Amino acid sequence: MLPEARLLNRGIGPEPETLDPQLARTTQSHIALRDLFEGLVSYSAEGVLVAAAASRWKISADGLRYKFWLRPEGRWSNGETVVARDFVYSFRRLVDPETAAFYAETLNSVVNAAEITAGNKPPEALGVEATSRFELEITLREPTPYFLSLLAQAATYPVREATVVEFGEQFARAGKLVSNGAYRLAKWEIGLAITLIRNEQYWNNKNTAIDVVRHHVTVEPSVELFRYRAGELDVTSTIPSEAFARIRDERPAELRVSAFLGTYYYGLNLNYPPLGDNPELRQALSMAIDREALTASVTGRGEQPAYSWIPPGVQNYESPVLSYATLSTEKRNAAAKRLYTEAGYNEANPLQIQLRYNTSETHKNIALAIQAMWRHTLGFEAELINEEFRVLVTNMRAMKITQIFRSSWNGDYNDAYAFLAMFESDNPSNMFGYSNEDYDLQLKRAAKQTNPARRRLYLEEAERVLLADLPVIPIYYHVSKHLVSPSVRGWQDNVLDYHYSQHLSFD
């Protein structure tokens, strides 16, 4: 490291668990991987899909065949050329049951992918083929309009076969890892920081401005803020809620708050009879929540009240909204009270219900506020139950003791389906006990549709069905929150909250 090297210090949040693209599971690993690797396509600073390891591609009219032309100038950090076979190897590795990849399903729309992961076909059966040194063909089993964006995900980044074979599961460590992105791995100090150095071999290296990137592990947001204020960090991963108002007053120019593809919600377990048997009650519970008051005074970090399940900013999509989105608080509360009474509840016979949330000051405050809103408007006392994160997740999945539960959903890719799939009857993420034939049908139709305008109609219809049934109460849309030092240039807000270090520079 040269002393005059341009060094960027980024807070990354909790420790990334691995730098193996196919095994990575968390947002934090993905942040570091975006600097290290490059998929066939990637995102610009503004969040627009752009050519990356592939310089161009062609999609067949039926939406089932993708052909990619790789850049002949693409290089691994050891100087070798990146070829189509590298992608074939990596895609097979992702779906191979031996790899046991968390995100194996990323390629599910590719021919035979699901069968391979289930152990019924060999990895070689995957519908991915290197037709020449730089040409790659992918065959899908159904048109998947968002397929390109999946090829910008960490799970589909290429790894170098020879390195994986030589070092086995240790290949992703410093001194061993070979990557094809703007940076290469210099040092990984567990619990401390991941240090990346400019990859001189990278095809677009001349446009990389920053020489060294340190991704610092910052578990506690309040401590991360200390480090930023002491000048040790140029970018933070988040902003602690208690400090938000002060930062907005003191450092407005450094504050970056932006819409983000995520919804904070209260899930309803429909296996619990009072919730499952009573659509009126579900609507009443949702109506009685004053989302404006909640986002203004409880969360207070720029979050937007949610009156639809899918957040704004999703490409080629317009959410239907809950009918009471525009009603005044008084009218909404009166309507909520009416539905609550119609569902058979009143002061003498109040609703008995439990609300579970996982340990966090924010979740607790929101739960307390909503409990008070329900008490005030509907007149019942929800029982609040605080559980540790993994305990709550286990309970949510089991669908036995949960009644109302807090959770969040973030879109992995910018498409409405990323938000709607979880409500399909047989989806493993369906923790609501929700099943509606009409809903499933709309999604099936959308899956077969190649015309984006018509597909969109099916998806919007599905969300309309969902909002009428309401197995989930959307509360607010997430925002991404960062502090970015005034000396950092090139930071662009985007709904994915992707900020590649290669797009940043200093004054």
Partner 1 sequence: MQQRGALRFALTRLLSAIPTLFLIIVLAFMMMRAAPGGPFDEERAIPPETAANIERAYHLDESLPRQFRRYFGGLLRGDLGPSYRYPGYSVAELIGGAMRYSLQLGALAMLSALILGVGAGVLAAVRKRSLLDRMVTGLAMTGISIPIFVIAPLFLLVFAVYLGWLPASWGDSESGLRYVLPVIALALPQVAYVTRMTRASMIEVMNSDFIRTARAQGLSTFTIVRRHALRPAMVPLLSYMGPAVAAVLTGSVVVEQIFGIPGLGQLFVRSALNRDYTLVLGIVIFYATLVIVFNLLVDIAYGFLDPRIRRQ
Question: Among 60-68, 228-236, 248-256, 472-480, which window interacts with partner 1 (CB under 8 A)?
Answer: 228-236
Identify residues 274-293 at the interface with partner 1 (CB under 8 A): none
Whole-angstrom distance, CA of residue 227 vs CA of residue 221: 10
Q: How far is the CB of 58 from partner 1 (least distance, A)?
A: 30
Q: Which is nearer to partner 1, 100 or 245 (CB)?
A: 100
Tokens of 21: 């693209």
Q: Which is nearer to partner 1, 183 or 432 (CB)?
A: 432
Q: Does 141 bind partner 1 (CB under 8 A)?
A: no
- CA distances from residue 352 to 117, 287, 346 in whole angstroms, order as listed: 43, 18, 11
Question: Among 16-24, 62-70, 324-332, 479-487, which window interacts with partner 1 (CB under 8 A)?
Answer: 16-24
Tokens of 20: 């193996």
State the pairing for strand pair 41-43/49-51. Answer: antiparallel
Whole-angstrom distance, CA of residue 274 vs CA of residue 283: 13
Total residue count of the chain as it appears in this document: 507
Q: Which is nearer to partner 1, 410 or 436 (CB)?
A: 410
Q: Does 3 bind partner 1 (CB under 8 A)?
A: no
Phi and psi at residue 99, in whole multiples of 5°? -70, -30
- CA distances from residue 500 to 135, 326, 503, 505 in whole angstroms, order as listed: 26, 38, 6, 11
Question: Among 15-23, 51-59, 153-161, 200-208, which window interacts with partner 1 (CB under 8 A)?
Answer: 15-23
| Single residue of 3, 79, 191, 273 touching partner 1 by CB under 8 A | 191
Strands (E) in 431-492, as ranges, are 472-483, 488-489
Q: Does 31 bind partner 1 (CB under 8 A)?
A: no
Q: Does 218 bind partner 1 (CB under 8 A)?
A: yes
Q: Does 390 bind partner 1 (CB under 8 A)?
A: yes
Q: Three-class SS of residue 105?
A: helix
Q: Does 395 bind partner 1 (CB under 8 A)?
A: yes
Q: Does 119 bind partner 1 (CB under 8 A)?
A: yes
Q: Three-class SS of residue 69?
A: strand
C-alpha 25 chain-centroid distance:
11
| Single residue of 331, 372, 389, 487 touching partner 1 by CB under 8 A | 389
CB atoms within 10 A of CB 243: 16
Q: Which is nearer to partner 1, 149 or 278 (CB)?
A: 149
Identify residues 150-189 at the interface with partner 1 (CB under 8 A): 169-173, 189
Whole-angstrom distance, CA of residue 413 vs CA of residue 154: 12
| Single residue of 429, 451, 452, 486 touching partner 1 by CB under 8 A | 429
| Single residue of 227, 251, 364, 375 touching partner 1 by CB under 8 A | 227
Count of residues that interact with partner 1, criterion CB under 8 A: 59
| Single residue of 72, 97, 122, 344 touching partner 1 by CB under 8 A | 97
Q: Does 360 bind partner 1 (CB under 8 A)?
A: no
Q: Does 417 bind partner 1 (CB under 8 A)?
A: no
Which positions ≥6 away from 253 have C-beta within 8 Å? 486
Our CA dihedral for 71, 75, 76, 77, rounded to 10 degrees, sits at -140
| Single residue of 185, 193, 196, 306 touching partner 1 by CB under 8 A | 193
Q: Which is nearer to partner 1, 97 or 486 (CB)?
A: 97
CB atoms within 10 A of CB 447: 17
Tokens of 416: 């409405």
The residues that touch partner 1, with contacts defined as CB under 8 A, are 9, 14-15, 17-18, 20, 23, 25, 97-102, 104-105, 114, 117-119, 169-173, 189-193, 214, 216-220, 222-223, 226-227, 229-230, 232, 388-391, 393-395, 397, 407-409, 412, 427-429, 431
